[in-house]
Structure 1
């Protein structure tokens, strides 16, 4: 597609901005669950368990959302490649919003017994379905509307929604922790962030219903290139799917260690107060958000693979210093550990959306990108807080956890080097190459 054939830049920017807002809302919904799981879900839904067992049970329900993400990515990716990107984005936001609202209304174990944790798992699964279809659709709409010389940058804006969702979730919980006492927070205060989601979802739906369909999808449909079974076609190409699924393992794993496990880790060891840690998480997420467009701009100049590889190397090397600082550096040490990790994750995320999406042809791109992203998130982010809790409980220190993160880093580095994704350096106005070979 030539520069002149691209959608007008104001329209492309509007789509990218709508993707940013929509993903922020979805990730807010997704991560308020993680914060609540770390702070309050153990005693509310799994009473009678030991502190470690209760935390593991709560974090296991957190992981269910990641397990559901490949299912949501497969279902919405399939239909997104069949009937269009926009309709699946609307559906994903609806599924996420309804699930989040119902969690805020859910009775606890003390009220309805074992039905409470069962329903919690079901609703968390619904959240995972929603976010599983969200990432691919938002990224593809931004990418496929963008001018050829700005595809990496525009597709990076939906990635900013993840840390901004974390900021929003952390701020809401921080205000609550400062506004009500411990007993009130445990009794009813934790529900407020989930109920507030309903207002955000309505706003996001209004924005999404006003978007145009992807011009690349419309062209594929006009040329009768739409596949009958796009997901099947993706699964039949493991040489593309497997490395695409591995690129995000470290960033997802370290991200959830940072956002979920560290919160309970420092609280259990009395290293940093809960309110202080929420504030640190907020600042970290802001740095993470700011690093994403920086990573995208660098990738436009030096290539997506080069920026992703360099960022993964930094994150892998940071695995041991991260916990050295958390364990011995006080509040300042925890802050530095988190800021460096957040910046590295952001730099990796900047070019990641375009790198993964353009590894797949347009006709199967929603399925391929969504399933790859979701699988990487399961193998990295879903199990990382659980593995972290088990390793620290078994060894009494974070050394084994740091080694585990290094292992994730090596997997991601190998995947980033192996994935064939086309990319011309974008400070020229050349159009992207067809999705068959790497050029940079």
Structure 2
């Protein structure tokens, strides 16, 4: 009788676990999509509107540089957001940080939609704009790490790549939503001068609706099981950031460099440079360009999901290496095809470029989570991601504008991106693939050693074989 009674309990438990994993996947997907929607809306508006609306007195060229620099300024505050969220995420939990970062990001974005322009309020308008951008940077610095750990730490070891793809999908899906909203306003609801006068504000104000949706979903998920275990055994690090850099500084640097190329390449499109260049220099229609970028984001999302799944079968490092090779090959053709002035050729270039982006992004959540010990994992993944964002994406659009202004050709931008891609390829090749390693706090001794192929210290033979 006892045996007949146990089976339904096991089935019910298994069903409950799968249901919770689905809730976590939805919470991380919706939350990061909202976060990145907010981020990308700003970047697109910077290239299409803000140079005139907020920086008009300095002239068109310098105004465009400053507008793109305002995109990059937020990246400088990402590490601070990562430090804060990592510290408290390792001490009080992943879920609380997820909810807080969502509210801060969405509130700042909504406020941008209500800002007066320079013509209405003078110098105070760009100052407030920059302060709101800083808040976005603080929020983004803490968002990613929490979402990633909620997804990966809830997942079975053989499905971490797939589970980690859901927070990763937030970036391309956020770009899809942002591009679609901008295209809708520019091409249908507020075409022409109306878009510059008031149409650009609607996508920012729409963020308020998304915040409510994301907040409700994120509040409904359980805390990460790894953090529950850490809290139960009272094994939280007192100062996780200090411990991270004292014991794992080289690992943070390598992890940051892994992300540099993907971030820089991605911000050519998400940071507004490609949209601005295609409209102002090549002469393509603004709405057509926004539609093309929306298409590219869909391809990016598909490639992100498929490569994340592939990393569960073939390993994170191998998939990453292939992704960097595809990205490196696709960089120059993207700009060559764009410069033809044929929108169809732009679509072709974006296709291969987006596949490369997905290949260098899909496995990142699982890769990072398996690199750092449990008690400092939130700090490790958040800070590595934030530093990689600065090295790669912070001022990539600004650098691209400057290079084109100085050289008169996008080949210089291609060379810049290719150099970063080579650096990231070398960096990921220095990481030991630890797919499936036990992420529990009880296995922290193994987690703390051997994440780099150059690190042979204290690695027992049994651990070496597992790695």
TM-score past 0.5 threshold: yes
Q: Is residue 254 of structure 1 aligned with residue 265 of structure 2?
A: yes
Aligned to 1:309: 321
Match of 1:335 in 2: 347
Aligned to 1:192: 202
Taking the aligned partners of 2:437 and 2:314, their CA distance within structure 1 comes to: 6
CA distance in 2, matches of 1:228, 1:130: 23
In the alignment, the residues of structure 2 paired with residue 413 and residue 143 of structure 1 have an alpha-carbon distance, to the nearest angstrom, of 24
Over aligned residue pairs, what C-alpha RMSD do you find?
1.9
Bigger Rg, which one: 2
Work out whether residues 252 and 376 of structure 1, in 8 Å CA contact, stay in contact via their aligned partners in 2.
Answer: yes
Q: State the 1:129 CA deviation.
A: 1.0
**Which whole-Å CA distance do the structure 2 matches of 1:129 and 1:6 have between them?**
37
User: C-alpha deviations, 1:334-356, integer Å up to 9, x for none?
Assistant: 11111111111112211111101
Q: CA deviation at 1:234?
A: 1.5
CA distance in 1, matches of 2:98, 2:190: 36
Matched, 1:286 2:295: no
Distance in 1, Cα, partners of 2:311 & 2:191: 47
| Divergent runs of 4+, >6 A | 4-7
What secondary structure sits across from 1:359 in the alignment? coil
CA distance in structure 2 between the partners assigned to 1:425 and 1:148 by the alignment? 7
2:387 corresponds to 1:375:
yes
Aligned mates of 2:119, 2:391 — CA distance in 1: 34
Residue equivalent to 1:42: 51
The partner residue of 2:411 within 399, 403, 424 is 399
Q: In the alignment, is residue 241 of structure 1 matched against residue 241 of structure 2? A: no
Number of aligned residue pairs: 433
Find the aligned partners of 2:48 and 2:41 in 1 and give their Cα distance.
Answer: 11
CA distance, structure 1, for counterparts of residue 257 and residue 397 of structure 2: 18
2:84 to 71, 75, 78: 75
Question: Offset of 1:5 from its aligned partner?
Answer: 9.8
| Runs of 5+ unmatched residues, structure 2 | 1-12, 452-465
Which residue is 1:160 aligned to?
169
Which residue number in structure 2 is paired with residue 52 of structure 1?
61
* 8 Å CA contact retained: 1:39, 1:264: yes
The DSSP-based 3-state class of the residue aligned with 2:208 is helix
Distance 1:143 1:386 in 2: 34
CA contact (8 A) 2:282 2:339 kept: no
Tell whether the 8 Å contact from 1:356 to 1:421 is kept in structure 2 after alignment.
no
Deviation at 1:420, TM superposition (A): 3.9
| Separation of aligned partners in 1, 2:315 and 2:450 | 14
Shift of 1:145: 0.7
Q: By how many angstroms is 1:328 displaced?
A: 2.1
Contact 2:315–2:433 (Cα < 8 Å) also in 1 = no
Q: How many angstroms does 1:425 deviate by?
A: 9.7
Question: Separation in 2 of the partners of 1:153 and 1:285?
Answer: 19
Q: Distance in 2 between matches of 1:379 and 1:288?
A: 21
- Which residue of structure 2 lines up, in the alignment, with residue 105 of structure 1? 114
Identify the match of residue 437 of structure 1 among 429, 438, 450.
450
Deviation at 1:324, TM superposition (A): 1.3
How far is the alpha carbon of 1:86 from its aligned partner? Answer: 0.3
- Aligned counterparts of 2:238 and 2:38: Cα–Cα separation in 1: 33
Look up the match of 1:267: 279
Q: CA offsets, 1:262-321, max 9 Å, x none?
A: 111111123421100000011110111111110011111110000001101111222222
Counterpart residue number, 2:214: 204
Query: Deviation of residue 437 (structure 1)?
Result: 3.2
Match of 1:299 among 281, 300, 311: 311
Superposition deviation, residue 249 in structure 1 = 0.6
Equivalent residue number for residue 231 of structure 1: 241
1:226 is paired with a residue of what secondary structure?
coil
Q: CA deviation at 1:182?
A: 2.2
- The 3-state SS of whatever aligns with 1:224 is coil
Q: Is the 8 A contact 1:174 1:278 kept in 2?
A: yes
Partners of 2:372 and 2:447 within 8 A in 1: no
Alignment of 1:204-223 (within 5 A): 204-223=214-233
Q: Unaligned 5+ residue runs, structure 1?
A: none
The DSSP-based 3-state class of the residue aligned with 1:25 is: helix
> Deviation string for 1:354-404 (max 9, x for gaps)?
101221111111111011111111111111101100000000001111111
Shift of 1:232: 1.0
Q: Does structure 2 retain, via aligned residues, the 8 Å contact 1:271–1:327?
A: no
Contact kept? 1:6, 1:147, Cα under 8 Å = no
C-alpha separation between the residues in 1 aligned to 2:80 and 2:33? 21
User: In the alignment, which residue of structure 2 is the partner of 1:149?
Assistant: 158
